[in-house]
Amino acid sequence: MVKSAQPTSARGRKPYVARATHRVHVPSGGIAVTIASRAASANDYVRQHSAHPLISRQKAADIARAAVRLAGLLGIDPVNVRPDRSWNYLSLPLAPLTLHASDPDDPQQVYTFSCRDPWYDDEPFFLLGPCPVCGAEVPLAEIRSLADVGAFLTHGPEPLPEHSAPPCSYPDAFDRHPAHTSQCPYYDGDS
């Protein structure tokens, strides 16, 4: 009889042993990162960023979790995602939340995202960029996966027709976004 290297249960089955050796991501430094180490990094990020003098601990934790969710979507470490913290007590509540994600291989390349309501995990992110008409920073693409980022980077924003609704490739958040300048046809003075 050959003995197993792993202990067996009373039913003769080998017990499941979680191993943190599954390689899921190899950053530019060439060091493999495990699922367990990525999870620990995400947990540390949320724990370290769950306090802010202007907002409750719970809201700060929600913002940190939104940053971790964006980092996971982009496949980068949470330290490469920075929430916009230029709020003051007059600008609360913090919706939409703005997040800046820097490329780990090129820290000068920063993508800006917004999230309408960071307190819900199923909310999409919006990739922000200059409006093709007025140049204001507005949502140009709805982002639910890394493929959505790739599609936008490949094709860019479609040209906008004059005096009509934007093409369906633009998110609903684009039309009448409050950041448009007052001369822009997509500006809504009531928002």
Q: How far apart are CA 71 and CA 79, in angstroms?
A: 8
Span 139-174, pLDDT tens digits: 999 999 999 999 999 998 888 887 788 998 999 989
**Cβ of 54: how many Cβ atoms within 10 Å?**
13
* Nearest residue to 81 (alpha-carbon basis) of 51, 52, 110: 110
Q: How far apart are CA 174 and CA 160, in angstroms?
A: 11
Residue 146 is encoded by which pair of tokens? 């890394």
Winning range, highest mean pLDDT, from 19-23, 29-33, 89-93, 109-113: 109-113
Residue 112 is encoded by which pair of tokens? 């800006």
Report the SS3 class of residue 162: coil
Span 36-79, pLDDT tens digits: 988 888 999 999 988 887 778 888 888 899 999 999 999 999 99
Span 111-132, pLDDT tens digits: 999 998 877 888 999 999 999 9
Report the SS3 class of residue 45: helix
- pLDDT the model gives residue 95: 63
Q: How far apart are CA 72 and CA 122, in angstroms?
A: 14
Question: Structure pTM?
Answer: 0.76
